[in-house]
Amino acid sequence: MAHDQDAEFVDTHFEALIQRCTSVMSIADKLYEKRAFSWEMYSKITNATSRENQKRELSNIVKSGGCDLKSFYQVLQELQPDVIQELGGSSSQTRNENRASESHRRSEEPTRAQNMPDRPEDAIIRWSPSSIKHRSKIEELRKDSSRKKVGSIYFSKSNNYMIGSGGSGMVYLGLKEDGTEVAIKRICKDPQNSKDFENELKHLRDLNLESKNIVRYVDLAEDDDFYYLALQLCENDLVEHMKSLDQEVRNNKEFDLRKIVQDVLLGLQVLHRAGVIHRDIKPKNVLIDSGKNARLADFGLSRKLEEGRSAVHTARAGTQGWEATEILNQSEKSDYKKSSDIQVAGMLVYYILSDGKHPFGGINDREDNIRKGKCCLDHIQDIVAKDLIEWMINKDPAQRLNIDEVLIHPYFLDEHRKYTIHKELGDRPEIQKYETLANLYNLYKDKGYTEGTEPTATLALNDALSELKIKDEKTRLDISTIVGKDLENLWRLFSTAEKITEGKSFSNWKSVLSEIWKNLNKKPPEDVLGLLRVLRNKQTHENVRKEFEEKKIFDLFPDYFISLHRVAKELGWNY
């Protein structure tokens, strides 16, 4: 009955509840953890670019029935009970339970003074343990009579509760008065620390940076000497987490590492879309929460781009061995761009996938190797992962992928996404007409024309199409649209395909696939786009699709998708 009342309350006050939500991502995280809605729905919220858009996505999901009203009520009651109380939404059952509990407490403790707890732990209400690693220490802190309170934050300066340190100060376990577990960064109030602290606080409070892949701001307190920055308590930093993975016997370690990589990059995507450059990406600044999510942390050195600008000119900052080539090559002040973060993030991806190695070698030679672009990726066998890292750590900033391009790299594709992308690229007009385009390309080559010349000045396109016996007007128009003025697009299409096919596993795909399909269409060129044309055609036939999947055709050519990715980028094909 109480659950029905909860759902009815949400239905009645829904718009007011949504407007009063102060942390949409916290609510979304909890609903997803409870499996109250799907990953696709959760992604819509995390990908929203502003707090209002996040609220709108959450509202749409609940209104459409994607999340049941009772689950929504329970999460609000857990995370923002004041919102429900403000609207008079505590169910009659809950109110009766509260009254009974209060009556029982008074009868059991008639002499206790109001607001004067006898025991230290009584001052901290509604503690709901979430940390596994730190649980026993937090229990000790609750009972520790020597703990200190600043604002609504409890902590102790005892080394027993210290969980980290950095350039700005120590990090301690802490608890808020309402029972929230936190990590307390105690920051000395000197001019430099204060500047970095104010900068970090600004970014942590930026609603555009709310994400399950960025450490969450909780609270702030201060006294005469220190700031006390309360952040979401995480289990480990990346360095410690990697050690724990090494000690465990895991069948799915590859999956776990891939998830960490993706989490870090999703966090960076949130920053970059908000115009923020991190400037200090390194293993110690990645934290792993109790739900095994990786979160970017430490924004003291981060800088926000001014409107219309692509770089921030500021004093050089960062950590030795974790700086971009262009930063090392500049003086005391440097121009930081998003691409600088990308190169260092690529170093971090290699660190994660290689069990703690660095692509530019040991600490003594690392900076010199970064300047020269001298890297070694031998500790990773996965050629798709290597391809991603090579893109990211390129010495030339202009050749690096941006963060959105990084996250659509084939390294992150599941089987469903592979088929979707394959269909999307295979349905492009250039691929559908690839045999005809190849014949046209070869005709002009046979007549001695090469890229950079103007062949149509001597042999007009219409005459060339007639020579190839192409009479259909729609086909002729389609070809004319594809090849562009003076056949520029035609030369570019085939020169790109030829260049990217050289030395690849699919460079002799006709002989490989002829063993599987005796009726194989061998007319398209034996290059990456010719293979795309043939495989896309096979995918469209239901009777072949099952055989296609059973024989794991894509697995025959492990570098096929990274090659398609390069072709698409060079030719400007979006997908």
- Condensed to tens digits (0 to 9), the pLDDT of residues 128-145 reads 788 999 999 999 999 888
Picking from 407, 195, 183, 166, the residue whose alpha carbon sits closest to that of residue 285 is 166
263, 412 contact by CB (below 8 A): no
What local confidence, expressed as pLDDT, does residue 108 receive?
A: 46
Confidence of residue 216 (pLDDT cuts 50, 70, 90): very high
- Predicted confidence (pLDDT) at residue 362 exceeds the cutoff of 80: yes
Specify the CATH number for the domain of residue 317.
Answer: 1.10.510.10
- Select the more confidently predicted residue: 94 or 331: 331
Across the range 72-93, mean pLDDT stands at: 72
Indicate whether 245 and 144 sit together in one domain. no
Query: Distance between CA atoms of 544 and 536, rounded to whole angstroms?
Result: 11
Distances (CA, A) of 276 to 205, 268, 295, 344, 345: 13, 9, 16, 15, 14
Cα torsion at 403, 405, 408, 409 (round to 10°)? -100
pLDDT tens, 217-258?
A: 999 999 888 899 999 999 999 999 988 876 665 567 888 899
- Predicted confidence (pLDDT) at residue 502 exceeds the cutoff of 80: yes
* Chain mean pLDDT for the chain: 85
132, 235 contact by CB (below 8 A): yes
Domain-ending residue, one of 410, 430, 460: 410
Indicate whether 88 and 55 sit together in one domain. yes
The three-class DSSP label of residue 334 is strand
Query: Distance between CA atoms of 75 and 69, rounded to whole angstroms?
Result: 10
529, 497 contact by CB (below 8 A): yes
The three-class DSSP label of residue 91 is coil
Domain-ending residue, one of 186, 217, 232: 232
pLDDT tens, 99-135?
A: 444 444 444 444 333 444 456 666 676 787 889 999 9
What local confidence, expressed as pLDDT, does residue 452 receive?
A: 66
Indicate whether 533 and 425 sit together in one domain. yes
Residue owning tokens 């001052």: 123
Residue 113 domain-assigned (yes or no): no
Query: Distance between CA atoms of 380 and 351, rounded to whole angstroms?
Result: 10
Long-range contacts of 95-104 (CB under 8 A, 24+ apart): none
Residue 111 domain-assigned (yes or no): no
Indicate whether 271 and 405 sit together in one domain. yes
What local confidence, expressed as pLDDT, does residue 99 receive?
A: 44
- Select the more confidently predicted residue: 48 or 144: 144
Indicate whether 31 and 84 sit together in one domain. yes
Indicate whether 318 and 451 sit together in one domain. no
Residue 422 domain-assigned (yes or no): yes
User: What one-character DSSP code corresponds to residue 355?
Assistant: T
Least confident among 33-37, 396-400, 469-473:
33-37
Confidence of residue 167 (pLDDT cuts 50, 70, 90): low
Across the range 436-461, mean pLDDT stands at: 82
203, 302 contact by CB (below 8 A): yes
Q: How many domains are there within the chain?
A: 4
SS3 for 24-76, per residue?
HHHHHHHHHHCCCCCHHHHHHHHCCCCHHHHHHHHHHHHHCCCCCHHHHHHHH
Least confident among 31-35, 358-362, 485-489, 491-495:
31-35
In 348-377, which positions are buried (b, 16+ CB within 10 angstroms) versus exposed (e)?
Answer: bbbbbbbeebbbbbeeeebbebbeeeebeb
Domain extent at residue 23: 2-96
Confidence of residue 284 (pLDDT cuts 50, 70, 90): very high
What local confidence, expressed as pLDDT, does residue 243 receive?
A: 86
What local confidence, expressed as pLDDT, does residue 101 receive?
A: 46
Which residues contact residue 136 at a Cβ distance below 8 angstroms, ignoring those fewer than 6 apart?
Answer: none
Least confident among 53-57, 58-62, 175-179:
53-57
- Give strand pairing partners of 334: 314
What local confidence, expressed as pLDDT, does residue 89 receive?
A: 58
Pull the structure tokens for residue 498: 């030829």
Indicate whether 133 and 182 sit together in one domain. yes
- Predicted confidence (pLDDT) at residue 150 exceeds the cutoff of 70: yes
Across the range 359-386, mean pLDDT stands at: 95
Indicate whether 432 and 563 sit together in one domain. yes
Least confident among 122-131, 140-149, 261-270, 349-358:
122-131
- Predicted confidence (pLDDT) at residue 327 exceeds the cutoff of 90: yes
Across the range 290-319, mean pLDDT stands at: 88
Q: Whole-prediction pTM value?
A: 0.75
Indicate whether 200 and 294 sit together in one domain. no
Across the range 376-403, mean pLDDT stands at: 96
Query: Distance between CA atoms of 225 and 237, rounded to whole angstroms?
Result: 27
Residue 189 domain-assigned (yes or no): yes
Specify the CATH number for the domain of residue 206.
Answer: 3.30.200.20
Based on its alpha-carbon atoms, the radius of gyration of the chain, rounded to whole angstroms, reads: 30
Q: What percent of the chain has pLDDT over 90?
A: 49
pLDDT tens, 408-435?
A: 999 999 888 888 999 999 999 999 999 9
Distances (CA, A) of 260 to 17, 295, 340: 34, 9, 21
- Predicted confidence (pLDDT) at residue 512 exceeds the cutoff of 80: yes
Query: Distance between CA atoms of 45 and 53, rounded to whole angstroms?
Result: 8
Domain-ending residue, one of 190, 211, 232: 232
If phi over 0 gives left and psi between -120 and 50 gives alpha, with beta otherwise, what is residue 85?
Answer: alpha
Query: Distance between CA atoms of 455 and 450, rounded to whole angstroms?
Result: 8
